[in-house]
Structure 1
Amino acid sequence: MSVSPPASAVPETPTGLRVRYGGGVHPAAELARGAAYELFSAEPAAGFDRDRRPDARYPYHRYAHASEVGRLPDPHRGGTGPGAERANGLGVPDSPLTAPLNRVLGWTDIHGLSQSPAAAEDPVLVSVRESATVRRGSQMVKALSAQQFAGFLLRGWLPYGFCYREYDVAHLRTPADQMLLRTDSEAGRAVPEVAYLLRWRATDPVDYVAPLAGTHRGLTTMPPHDRVGPPVLGTGFTPSGRHLIPEFVTRDFADLPLPANAALLAHTPDGDEVVLYTYQPEQRGWLRMAGPRWRHLLAAVPGVAPDQEYVSTGDAIRSTLLIGGYRGQEHEAVADPPGEFRVLAMTRAARYPVQTLTRRARYVDWRDTRCLVLREEGGWLRLRLCRPDPDNVAPLGAQCYERGVYESWAPAAEVTDDQLVDIPYEL
């Protein structure tokens, strides 16, 4: 029988942080504002991998979610407690999943329910799913392929489709771990050397919904030949044999305006997170953040020069706009959640705080199917289906470009109920 060493005998990391995990005590480093931890070990241990980084302080390490560890008193900061109760760096606390566990119902049972489409309306599972909430300022992430990364950097793509709260996936640090979050056609295939993520802050909770069987039944019944990526279970959780991860989709699969300081990230096989670019809305550009040491991480991204910054030429067509009201007039606005929403302006003196805020998008009906208009070219409309299902995908000739996202071209003369819709945000 092994006996764990007393906490006082475990060496500390430079921050002095130690945590309990799996019956032992380990030095640790906090990640993602307390959502996850990197644990270290001087000896081989179950679940720990060799740390091959040149500057490694310990020979072995692993990553764990905040819910899996117990934080010991920190002499440098004082106090204890799980990272879930701490702010995410911007004054917005992330709420953990909560489950009514007891002697009869354990974690394995909850996980089993989350992976069973038949249990989508189980009251226990529903209560667990409803405990995962998006708040204004919540950090959201979307896993990207190299091609999708290029789309955001070079072609001005906006966040849309399936995404996650960073709090729920912060422990998935390596390319192998992040494969289950991917939405592209390569998901579940060969593990790449580098994993890419888009990270942004939620402007408003109204923009995010859970892909449940009651609201997105069409996705749950989509045949394999008409979908990309893993199936949609309808439980609100992503398919996984180990993890319990609540997933979200943008409402109506709409594009969302990028808030200030969104970031394009890379994760290495050792779990290092590297901020490659950050978004500056006034310039509509991505500022390069990574130095020469990390520019090799962009080698797999098609069309990207690692030593270059990318600024919009101004002619990019955007399917959605953030509109702010100031003194009775409308202006394009910038979100810097949780608390700052201002007029889009190059000069600081003109960046007035807006008094009202809405997201504006164009909707149409095409053959009895509600769609978002992405762009218009020569009498044709590029449409994205708001509620794809097997009955409308085939008749409309819609193609699946990533998990849950179906698009098609339609003659402008055939659409009806063409209107600009404002989704109001409460300030």
Structure 2
Amino acid sequence: MTIVDHSVISPGELDGPMLVPLSREVSWERIQRLSQQHARGVDAELIETVRATAVVRRGTRMVKPLPARAVAGVLRGAVVSGFCYRGYDTASLRSPGDWSVLGADPSAPVTFVLRWRAVDPVDYAYPKAGGGLSAIPAHERVGPPVLGTGFAPSSTELIPEFHTADFADLPLTANASLIAYTPDGSEAILYTYQPEQRGWLRLAGPQWRPLLYGLPGVAPEQEYHPLHGERAFSRLVGRFQEAEHDAVADPPETFRVLAMSRAARFPVDSLARRTRYARWRGVLCTGVGAEGDWARLRISDPDAVTVAATGAQCQERGVYEVWAPVAELTEVHDMDLYYEI
């Protein structure tokens, strides 16, 4: 059991700027250049100091750009995993051309973005220099390289990047949203996640409905998209009156029992993220799916060695998954990560 300390943050402090100590000696150009290379000595200390000010707190808005083909998967029940960013740091990205710095297609008519609020900073990490993802060969990765500085690759922007801890799935928080950004910079909220209804509600009005046309697997006129499939291997659980229940997080303040009836949505006394872990061929992984005698695994700390040992394939930037026989798995267990609420 892991206990996570959490200091109370007022709503106005949930989304704060990254601080850059500009001076005559330290220019913006220098900071941006250092963010794109493996600095040493004083330069390394400087860029690490800047990166440390990009803080995720309970309730911080987080975002992840999605390819059009991934939208239907989210509506069916896919959750948060892999690389993501603070909404504060991407606020200036409005058009598909802007979002291309984070891997979006600049020629696409629209960029889709998943937005949610963080439950706790312990759910997020960022890659460090010295091996790991930054040492994986180009032919075994998808998307831009991982620099190991904590910043996204860019010749012009300074955007701190994060990934979900252990690259595990994170359950979506209440009122997460699927957003579209158009070439003129407009933001359209297309769907919002309603955990009690176990699905997504369409919010896009008639003027935004054409943005949904052509999305693989999405019916533009469908107002409610129920989640599909079995219970996820990563979910929130809470205790109320000494009994365990599936739980819902609505950061920064609301954590409740998952219940259809409003009268039964009691505040939980404790909250934990329960995630399935296992080892295969000696490599620690999280469970993300199962079918018969086979399990879908995601490498928790991918590097050139673990990718080669498992034969895992890169599904998206930083996310390496593989199917493995259940009979060959060891140390299979559910780990509860408790949050202080």
Q: TM-score, normalised by structure 2?
A: 0.93
The 3-state SS of whatever aligns with 2:148 is coil
Partner of 1:122: 44
The 3-state SS of whatever aligns with 1:282 is helix
Aligned length: 332
The 3-state SS of whatever aligns with 1:424 is strand
Q: Name which one, 1 or 2, has greater alpha-carbon Rg.
A: 1
Once superposed, what is the RMSD of the aligned Cα atoms?
1.7
The 3-state SS of whatever aligns with 2:81 is coil
Q: Given residue 115 of structure 1, which amino acid in structure 2 is its aligned partner?
A: Q
The 3-state SS of whatever aligns with 2:208 is helix
1:174 and 2:95 matched: yes
Is 2:195–2:248's contact at 8 Å kept on the other side of the alignment?
Answer: yes
User: Percent identity at matched positions?
Assistant: 55
1:94 and 2:15 matched: yes
2:266 to 342, 345, 352: 352
2:56 to 122, 126, 134: 134
Q: Given residue 142 of structure 1, which amino acid in structure 2 is its aligned partner?
A: K
Partner of 2:29: 108
1:286-301 superposed matches below 5 A: 286-301=200-215
4+ residue stretches of structure 1 with deviation over 3 A? Answer: 90-93, 118-121, 313-317
Is 1:277–1:286's contact at 8 Å kept on the other side of the alignment?
Answer: yes
Structure 1 residue runs of 5 or longer lacking an equivalent are: 1-86
Partner of 1:145: 67
Worse-superposed segment, 302-311 or 129-138? 302-311
Post-superposition Cα deviations, 1:368-387, rounded to whole Å, max 9, x if no partner, equal: 11000112221111000001
Q: Given residue 204 of structure 1, which amino acid in structure 2 is its aligned partner?
A: D
Q: Distance in 1 between matches of 2:216 and 2:94?
A: 23
Aligned CA distance change for structure 1 residues 190 and 348 (closer, same or farther; 3 Å): closer
Q: Given residue 28 of structure 2, which amino acid in structure 1 is its aligned partner?
A: W
Partner of 1:160: 81
Q: Give the CA deviation at 1:100.
A: 2.2
1:181-260 superposed matches below 5 A: 181-182=102-103, 187=104, 191-213=107-129, 217-260=131-174
Q: Distance in 2 between matches of 1:281 and 1:268?
A: 28
Q: Given residue 44 of structure 2, which amino acid in structure 1 is its aligned partner?
A: D
Q: Given residue 212 of structure 1, which amino acid in structure 2 is its aligned partner?
A: K
The 3-state SS of whatever aligns with 1:418 is strand
Q: Given residue 347 of structure 1, which amino acid in structure 2 is its aligned partner?
A: S
Partner of 2:4: none
Q: Distance in 2 between matches of 1:379 and 1:261?
A: 35
Q: Given residue 228 of structure 1, which amino acid in structure 2 is its aligned partner?
A: V
Is 2:98–2:106's contact at 8 Å kept on the other side of the alignment?
Answer: no
Q: Distance in 2 between matches of 1:166 and 1:247?
A: 11
Partner of 1:69: none
Aligned CA distance change for structure 1 residues 250 and 300 (closer, same or farther; 3 Å): same
The 3-state SS of whatever aligns with 1:401 is strand
Q: Given residue 298 of structure 2, which amino acid in structure 1 is its aligned partner?
A: R
Q: Given residue 205 of structure 1, which amino acid in structure 2 is its aligned partner?
A: P
Q: Distance in 2 between matches of 1:316 and 1:263?
A: 22
Aligned CA distance change for structure 1 residues 291 and 347 (closer, same or farther; 3 Å): same
Q: Distance in 2 between matches of 1:407 and 1:170?
A: 31
Q: Distance in 2 between matches of 1:315 and 1:109?
A: 49
Is 2:99–2:106's contact at 8 Å kept on the other side of the alignment?
Answer: no
Q: Given residue 96 of structure 1, which amino acid in structure 2 is its aligned partner?
A: P
Aligned CA distance change for structure 1 residues 417 and 172 (closer, same or farther; 3 Å): same
Partner of 2:3: none
Aligned CA distance change for structure 1 residues 142 and 349 (closer, same or farther; 3 Å): same
Q: Give the CA deviation at 1:103.
A: 1.2
Is 1:146–1:302's contact at 8 Å kept on the other side of the alignment?
Answer: yes
1:249-398 superposed matches below 5 A: 249-312=163-226, 315-398=229-312
Higher relative contact order (CA 8 A, sep 6+): 2
Q: Give the CA deviation at 1:311.
A: 3.4
Post-superposition Cα deviations, 1:286-341, rounded to whole Å, max 9, x if no partner, equal: 10101111111112411211110343366434121100111111100000110000
Q: Give the CA deviation at 1:190.
A: 5.4
Aligned CA distance change for structure 1 residues 119 and 147 (closer, same or farther; 3 Å): farther
Is 2:58–2:118's contact at 8 Å kept on the other side of the alignment?
Answer: yes
Post-superposition Cα deviations, 1:351-390, rounded to whole Å, max 9, x if no partner, equal: 0000100000110011111000112221111000001111
Q: Distance in 2 between matches of 1:415 and 1:313?
A: 28
Q: Distance in 1 between matches of 2:213 and 2:230?
A: 25
Q: Given residue 69 of structure 2, which amino acid in structure 1 is its aligned partner?
A: Q
Structure 2 residue runs of 5 or longer lacking an equivalent are: 1-8
Q: TM-score, normalised by structure 1?
A: 0.75
